[in-house]
Amino acid sequence: MISSLQELVFDNRLVRELPADQEIDNYRRQVAGAVYSRVAPTPVKNPQLIAGAPEVAALLGLRATIFTDPQFAQIFGGNQLLAGMEPHACVYGGHQFGNWAGQLGDGRAINLGEVKNQRGEHWTLQLKGAGPTPYSRTADGLAVLRSSVREFLCSEAMHHLGVPTTRALSLVSSGELVRRDMFYDGNSELEPGAIVCRVAPTFTRFGNFEIFSARNDIALLKQFTNFTLRTDFADMFPGPAAEFTKADYLRWFNEICIRTAQLMAHWMRVGFVHGVMNTDNMSILGLTIDYGPYGWLEGYDQDWTPNTTDAQGRRYRYGNQPRVALWNLAQLANAIYPLIDEVEPLQAALENYRAEYERCAQRDAAAKLGLSQFDPGQDQYLNEQLLECFQLIETDMTIFYRSLAQLNADDISHYADTQCVDIVRESFYSAADENVETQFAGWIRRYAQRLQQDYVLTGNTHEQKIARMNSANPKYVLRNYLAQQAIDKATAGDYSEVEKLLNILRNPYDEQPEYQDYFAKRPEWARHKAGCSMLSCSS
């Protein structure tokens, strides 16, 4: 481990090996024939570190003491560059809400460079909110504190939940005010600015391939794809650089399909809703990327979306995420089709997505119920019945599953309906009437019988079931109102709640009795409060 930022080693493969934009001035424009544009972060008045993630510093080979370095905020606030950094922004396109949007690109993200750590791993450092780039369109390239707190916290929360994600090294206040129209209603306000340093092996998106294909720049599409296979999928294609074949491209696309299916299953498992599943927000590594108007299910609702922009169509609602991911993969297949020139094998890879998602969803359904394995003949119906029960009364999914773990299948036969429901009653947002109690009690009894059958077949015990369920069902997630409370305090200059949430969310599956107050349903005051329910893309 190293103790100085100056000891970081940069190996900037993308800027070294791929074509750059020949225009060096930083103004909004269409950029053709290039993968990236060189652009420096915009200096800010008074960068101050709000929070840092020691686990991410360790990925880079840095000691946790690095956050006390006075130079840290200057560098990750965009005021200084380290030797070896080559800041740049990448061009990409994308389908937004189902429609081709043309050139998009890193409009408020600037890649500082690729750190090569002592293990030989490459980690790209990216500042979000560090000023305009050629891809900023009509925006200013900046970010506000509220969205930056949400991105910083959720990046790390998702990692500790076991969900593939980009990471967040630091959250830095800029000391400047940024004007934003939070509700897109013409009432803009000045808000504190902030910058997040995001970290990932790569930030390459489906849209990076779409833009070259849409422009019929097949030579650059092939060059960029070959680079991607050599660098970001080196474990699949080891050895010296060579010309790739159609079979290689298909193998690679199939891997993206598999990783994306696994990611969708994770989102559904923990009740996460991304909110903006445009193709430019889909990572080729199967990572959660771009934390905008995301949200967590409070009351279970397949149709819920956190994005005000999507409030009418609800394209990116919770229950539609697996289907949207498949649609997005089909757009990526269209983009790389010129490299393969065959439809059938691309369709076969998309079918593999469906199969992998179903496999993961069944595995997760069994784990969430504490079963040793998923029996389609019984458990598909059991799970569907549970989701029907969720429609009867507003139910907090996180609290429901965590409470259900305490059910003792051997005792349930002696319980009246009310006693059965008492096990999970804490997860209801309102009082359960007689019909609700009857339906839930009936399901709980059927579930208890299934558990007893599983015990007989496997020899598992009640205690083992609890452990299995608690390892699959988090106790603590970044609830929207919790994030907003941290934002409200941070806006007033108190960053203690950001640190507290970061600490709680490091161990989301642990009981952590000292933080029991954070294991609670959304308060009624937060049901419609800005930032606690739906959010806009404004940041």
Give DSSP secondary structure letters for 404-469.
Answer: HTT--TTTGGG--HHHHHHTTGGGBSS---HHHHHHHHHHHHHHHHHHHHHHHHH---HHHHHHHH
The 10s digit of each residue's pLDDT in 91-123 is 999 999 999 999 999 999 999 999 999 999 999
What is residue 243's predicted lDDT score, i.e. its pLDDT? 84
How much is the pTM?
A: 0.96
d(CA 110, CA 362): 39
d(CA 351, CA 133): 38
Q: State yes or no: is 433 an active-site residue.
A: no
Q: Which residues pair with 51 in a beta bridge?
A: 171
CB 205 within 8 A of CB 196: no
Residues in the chain, total: 539
What is residue 531's predicted lDDT score, i.e. its pLDDT? 80
Closest CA to 389 of 426, 358, 432: 432
Phi, psi of 89 (to 5 degrees): -125, 140
Domain boundaries, the chain: 5-207, 219-366, 367-472
What is residue 535's predicted lDDT score, i.e. its pLDDT? 78
Closest CA to 432 of 392, 387, 385: 392
Residue 534 C-alpha from the chain's centroid: 17
CB 342 within 8 A of CB 253: no
Alpha-carbon distances, residue 29 vs 32, 91, 105, 471 (angstroms):
10, 11, 11, 49
Query: E strand or H helix at 198, and its extent?
Result: strand 189-200
d(CA 10, CA 83): 8
Tokens 């927000």 belong to residue? 281
CB 73 within 8 A of CB 172: yes
Helix (H, G, I), strand (E, B) or coil at 202: coil
Helix (H, G, I), strand (E, B) or coil at 19: coil
Which residues, 6 or more positions from 221, have their beta carbon under 8 angstroms from its beta carbon? 209, 212, 213, 335, 336, 338, 339
What is residue 539's predicted lDDT score, i.e. its pLDDT? 53
d(CA 181, CA 501): 27
What is residue 538's predicted lDDT score, i.e. its pLDDT? 56
Burial 102-124 (b: 16+ CB within 10 A, else e): ebbbbbbbbbbbbbbbeeeebbb
CB 296 within 8 A of CB 501: no
Pick the catalytic residue from 248, 280, 290, 310: 280
What is residue 473's predicted lDDT score, i.e. its pLDDT? 98
Task: Give me the residues of the chain with pLDDT under 50, please.
Answer: none
How many beta carbons lie within 10 A of that of residue 373, not counting itself? 12
d(CA 14, CA 521): 45
